[in-house]
Structure 1
Amino acid sequence: MKHDVRGISKWRQRLGYGISDLACNLIWQMISLYLLYFYTDIMGLNAAAVSLMFVITRIIDGVTDLLVGYLIDHTHTRWGKSRPYFLFGAIPFAFFAFLCFSVPNTSVAGKMVYAYVTYIGLSFSYTLVNVPMASILPSLTTDAKERTALSTSRKFFGFLGATVVSSSALVLVNLFGGNNQALGFKKVMFMFGLISCILFFITFLSVREIRVEEKQTLTMKNIIKALRQNTPWLIFALNILFMWTGFFLQTSSLVYYFVVVVGDRGLSITIATIMSIVPMCANFFVPFLANKMGKRNLFIIASLIQAGGIVIILLGTINHFVIIVGALVSALGYGIKESIYFSMQADPVDYGIWKNGIDVSGSLSAINGFLGKVAQAVAGGIAGILLAWGSYAPNAVEQTNQATLAIKLMYGYIPIALIVGSVIVMSFYKLDQEYPQIQVELAQRRKI
Structure 2
Amino acid sequence: MKLDAKAIGVMFIVCRIIDAITDVLVGYAIDKTRTRWGKSRPWFLFGAVPFALSAFLAFNVPQIAPSGKLVYAYATYIFLSFMYTVVNIPLASILPALTDDMNERTVLATWRKFFAFLGSTIVSATALSLVHLVGKGNEALGFRFVMGMFGIIGSICFFLTFALVRETNLQEQTKSVSLKKTVSSLAQNKPWKIFALNILFQWTGYFLQSAALVYYYKYYVRSTSMASLVATIMTIVPMVANFTVPFLAKKLGKRNLYELSAFVQLIGLLIIFIGQLQTSIIITGAFISALGYGIKESIYFSMQADPVDYGEWKTGVQAAGTLSSLNGFLGKVAQALAGGISGLLLSWGAYNNEALVQNAKALIAIKSMYIYIPAILLVLSIITMYFYRLDKQFPQIQKELAQRRKVKTYE
TM-score, normalising length from structure 1?
0.82
Cross-structure match for 2:122: 164
Cross-structure match for 2:161: 203
Task: Give the alignment of 1:92-111 within 5 angstroms.
Answer: 92-101=50-59
Check if 1:223 corresponds to 2:182.
Answer: yes
Check if 1:149 corresponds to 2:79.
Answer: no
Mark the runs of 5 or more structure 2 residues left unpaired by the alignment: none
Task: Give the alignment of 1:31-430 within 5 angstroms.
Answer: 46=5, 52-101=10-59, 115-173=73-131, 175-176=133-134, 185-215=143-173, 216-394=175-353, 396-430=355-389
Aligned residue type for 1:140: L
Counterparts of 1:395 and 1:437, CA distance in 2: 60
Q: How has the CA–CA distance of structure 1 residues 364 and 55 changed in structure 2, closer, same or farther, with 3 Å as cutoff? A: same
Deviations 1:284-340 (A, max 9, x none): 111110011110010011011112222333443444333322221111101100111
> 3-state SS of the aligned residue for 2:80?
helix
Query: Cα distance, 1:405 vs. partner?
Result: 3.3
Q: How has the CA–CA distance of structure 1 residues 209 and 354 changed in structure 2, closer, same or farther, with 3 Å as cutoff? A: same
Q: How has the CA–CA distance of structure 1 residues 208 and 177 changed in structure 2, closer, same or farther, with 3 Å as cutoff? A: same
Aligned residue type for 1:69: G
Query: Cα distance, 1:440 vs. partner?
Result: 1.3
Counterparts of 1:382 and 1:113, CA distance in 2: 28
Counterparts of 2:22 and 2:127, CA distance in 1: 29
Counterparts of 1:381 and 1:277, CA distance in 2: 29
Aligned residue type for 2:309: D
Q: How has the CA–CA distance of structure 1 residues 426 and 71 changed in structure 2, closer, same or farther, with 3 Å as cutoff? A: same
CA contact (8 A) 1:51 1:385 kept: no
Query: Cα distance, 1:158 vs. partner?
Result: 1.1
CA contact (8 A) 1:226 1:352 kept: yes
Query: Cα distance, 1:174 vs. partner?
Result: 5.1
Counterparts of 1:341 and 1:401, CA distance in 2: 37
Query: Cα distance, 1:102 vs. partner?
Result: 5.4
CA contact (8 A) 2:47 2:87 kept: yes
Which structure has the bigger radius of gyration? 2
Counterparts of 1:110 and 1:397, CA distance in 2: 38
Counterparts of 1:118 and 1:249, CA distance in 2: 27
Q: How has the CA–CA distance of structure 1 residues 258 and 355 changed in structure 2, closer, same or farther, with 3 Å as cutoff? A: same
Q: How has the CA–CA distance of structure 1 residues 178 and 395 changed in structure 2, closer, same or farther, with 3 Å as cutoff? A: farther
Cross-structure match for 1:31: none
Deviations 1:213-250 (A, max 9, x none): 34430112321231111111111111111111111122
CA contact (8 A) 1:94 1:193 kept: yes
> 3-state SS of the aligned residue for 1:124?
helix
Q: How has the CA–CA distance of structure 1 residues 429 and 170 changed in structure 2, closer, same or farther, with 3 Å as cutoff? A: same
Deviations 1:5-46 (A, max 9, x none): xxxxxxxxxxxxxxxxxxxxxxxxxxxxxxxxxxxxx95754
CA contact (8 A) 2:19 2:81 kept: yes
CA contact (8 A) 1:69 1:364 kept: yes
Cross-structure match for 1:38: none
Of stretches 355-364 and 388-397 in structure 1, the one that deviates more from structure 2 is 388-397
CA contact (8 A) 2:26 2:325 kept: yes
Check if 1:443 corresponds to 2:389.
Answer: no
Counterparts of 2:88 and 2:216, CA distance in 1: 29
Counterparts of 1:265 and 1:91, CA distance in 2: 39
> 3-state SS of the aligned residue for 1:253?
helix
Number of residue pairs aligned between Structure 1 and Structure 2: 406
Q: How has the CA–CA distance of structure 1 residues 137 and 52 changed in structure 2, closer, same or farther, with 3 Å as cutoff? A: same
Counterparts of 1:394 and 1:97, CA distance in 2: 30
Counterparts of 1:103 and 1:407, CA distance in 2: 34
Counterparts of 2:218 and 2:64, CA distance in 1: 29
Aligned residue type for 1:438: I
CA contact (8 A) 1:54 1:381 kept: no
CA contact (8 A) 1:167 1:272 kept: no
Q: How has the CA–CA distance of structure 1 residues 324 and 76 changed in structure 2, closer, same or farther, with 3 Å as cutoff? A: same
> 3-state SS of the aligned residue for 2:388?
coil
Q: How has the CA–CA distance of structure 1 residues 374 and 184 changed in structure 2, closer, same or farther, with 3 Å as cutoff? A: same
> 3-state SS of the aligned residue for 2:256?
helix
